[in-house]
Structure 1
C-alpha cells in the first residue's frame, strides 16, 4: 500500500505555526514526490464591517478597517513566505512547496475540510493557533476538524522536542490496522524506531453506570492469570502481524520493540505514561476503537490521548 505524500499544513501567522513547519521539516521523510501545501484561511472582515460600509457617516472607520485588513493580509503573507523558506532551507525542493492563501467562504473549519478533500494524505496542525482562536484543541474549529475529517489522518503537533521514535498504540480494530499501514507507507525505510504498544484494561476499569449514590460499592474484581494469558496470546498475534507490515515497508527489525501492559485502569493514560517514560515524541492511534458504533470524538481512547497527551505530537488515523 503506497500513500502519496501530499501534506496539508495549516499556517495561521504565529510563531507556533512556524514550529509546525519545523516539525514537517525535521520529522517527515521528504522526497521528490512530496508536495507540501501551506494553507491559510483569511478572515479579516467581521460582520460589523459590512454594516459600516453601508453607512456614509462611518467612512473614516471603514477606511481605518480596510487599512488594518491590508496590514493583516500582508503579515499573513510574510509568515507564509517565511514558512516556505524554512522548508526550502531544510532541503525540500522549492517546487514541492505551495502556498494557498484562501479567502474565507463558508467558514474557517468548513473551508479547511473542503481543501482536505483534494487528494491530501494528511492534515498537520498545531494544538493552538488559527489566528485569534486560541486553544485550538479545545475550540470549535478543532472539534469540527476531528469530527469531520475522517478520510485522512490528522497530525496534531505538540511541544515535545522531535525525535524519530514512535509509540504505535494498536488494537484489533480496522482503524488501528489503517494506522499501521499509514506509518508503514509513510515512514518505512527512513530509520524510524517504533514501539508496538497495547494496554489490557483491568476489570476495575469497567464502568457499570451505577447512578444510585447509596448503592453498595462494587468490590474490585481481579482478572485471572488464565484470562490475562489469553489476552496476551491474542495480542501477540496482533503484534506479529503489525511487525510484519512494518518490516515489509522498510522498518529495521532492531528498531522495532513490543510492549504489553495489563490491568490498567485507563488505556489512554497507559499510552501517555509509556510515551513519557520511553522518550517518544510521537503517538499514533486509530480514530475508532473496537466499538464501531462509537464516534472518535465521543470519548474513548483516541480522544483521551489527544487531550491528555497535550505535550506530544498525536497522529489520529
Structure 2
C-alpha cells in the first residue's frame, strides 16, 4: 500500500543528479512514497525559429530543432534509468513517475510553479546542479533561490555522506522546531532509524544554581529548563510515531560560542548523515523566510543532507 504523500525530486541529468538518485535509493523511508522525478529543459530561443528567409537559415533552424529534440530524448532516458535504478532498490514501479517541463521564465520559478500546482509532501534538491556550476561555490543559483523561496514545503538538500539513517534534529523550544520533529516522526516512524535531539545554549548553568541572586543566572536557568522540556516533548513525539526509545538520544550543549558551529560539531562527532532544522527559530520573524542558524548550517555543511522544515 503506497503512501499518498508525494515527493518531488529535481534532476538535471548531471553527475551530481546521479548522486541524488543514489540518495533516494539509499534512504529506505522514501520507498513507500510516491516520487516524481522532475526536469525543466531549456528550449532554444524562439528567435531561432524566425530564421526562415534563406536556405542556409532553414538548415540552421532544422539543426536547432534536432538538437532540442535530442536533449529531451537524453533527459527522458536519464529519468527512465533513474526510475529503474530506484525500482531495483525497492521502490514500487507504480510509485515512481517522471515529468519534463519546458523552461519559461527560469528553472527555480518553474519548480516553484510545479509545487504550487500540485500537492507535494516535500522537495528534494542538490546544492549544485550541472557541470556549469562554479567549483568551490557551496550553493548553485537555482538551489539558493529554492532555499529562500520554497518556504511552504519541507526542503531536503541531498548531501554526500553515507546514509546510515542517523538524524540530528535541532531543538530550540520553538513551534518551528516541533514542526521539524513531527515531520521527522512522520517520515521515520516505525523504522529502526536513530535520532539525536540536540539543543544548544550559549550560557552554562546547572540546576544547583540558587535562584533569585543573579538575574542573568536566573534567565540562563529558565532557558535551560525550557530546552530540557522541549527535548522531552520531542522525544515523546518520536516514540508515539513508533521509533523505539532506545534509538533516541537527547543532548543539551551549553556554553556554545556559535550555535550553528556547535550543532555541526555534534552531528559530525556522532557521525549523523542528516541534520533536521526549522526554517525559523525562537524569534520566528515572519519577514524573513530563513533564520540565521539554518542559513549558516546550509552553507557550512557541504556533505550533510539537510532537511529544512517550514
TM beyond 0.5: yes
- Kept in 1, the 8 Å contact 2:31–2:90? The answer is no
Say if 1:92 and 1:84 are closer, same or farther in 2 by CA, change over 3 A: same
**Paired position in structure 1 for 2:112:** 113
1:65 aligns with 2:64: yes
Partner Cα distance (2:48, 2:167) in 1: 47
Describe the superposition over 1:13-65 as per-residue Cα deviations: whole angstroms up to 9, x where unpaired.
11221221221221141455x21100011113146535646776533332332
Q: Which residue of 2 aligns with 1:212?
A: none
Name the residue aligned to 2:9. Answer: 9
Q: Which residue of 2 aligns with 1:245?
A: 237
**d(CA) in 2 for partners of 1:29, 1:225:** 43
Checking the alignment, whether the CA contact within 8 Å between 2:281 and 2:291 is kept in structure 1 is no
Cα offsets for 1:82-113 (capped at 9, x unmatched) = 11001111111111101111122342111111
**Does the 8 Å CA contact 2:203/2:220 hold for their aligned counterparts?**
no
**How far 1:295 sits from its partner (Å)?**
5.1
- Return the alpha-carbon distance in structure 2 between the equivalents of residues 53 and 76 of structure 1: 28
CA separation in 2, counterparts of 1:235 and 1:92? 39
Task: Give the count of matched residue pairs.
Answer: 296
Which one of the candidate residues 259, 262, 265 is aligned to 1:270?
Answer: 262
State the partner residue of 2:96.
97
Determine whether 1:302 maps to 2:303. no
The two structures have a TM-score, normalised by structure 1, of 0.85
Superposition map of 1:12-51 within 5 A: 12-30=12-30, 32=32, 34-46=33-45, 49-50=48-49
Structure 2 match to 1:207: none
Tell me the SS of whatever aligns to 2:97. Answer: strand
- Give 1:130 deviation, angstroms: 5.2
Q: Retained in 2: the 8 A contact 1:44–1:72? A: no
Cα distance per residue 1:86-144 (max 9 Å; x no partner): 11111111111011111223421111111112111100011111574557863332232
User: Using a 3 Å threshold, how does the CA distance of structure 1 residues 51 and 134 change in structure 2: closer, same or farther?
Assistant: farther
SS in 2 for 1:289: coil
Cα offsets for 1:234-270 (capped at 9, x unmatched)? 2110111100000000111111001111121211111
Q: Which runs of 5+ in 1 are unaligned?
A: 204-222
User: Quick check: 2:159–2:305 contact (8 Å CA) kept in 1?
Assistant: yes
* Conserved? CA contact 2:157–2:307, under 8 Å: yes
Q: Cα 1:192–1:56, aligned 2, differ >3 Å: closer, same or farther?
A: same
Tell me the TM-score normalised to structure 2 length.
Answer: 0.87
Deviations 1:194-242 (A, max 9, x none): 1100111249xxxxxxxxxxxxxxxxxxx96655443222211011110
Separation of aligned partners in 1, 2:46 and 2:115: 26
Q: Give structure 2 stretches of 5+ with no counterpart.
A: 205-214
Greater shift in the superposed pair: 133-142 or 89-98:
133-142
1:109-258 map, 5 Å:
109-117=108-116, 118-129=118-129, 132-133=132-133, 138-202=139-203, 227-258=219-250
Deviating more after overlay: 261-270 vs 223-232: 223-232
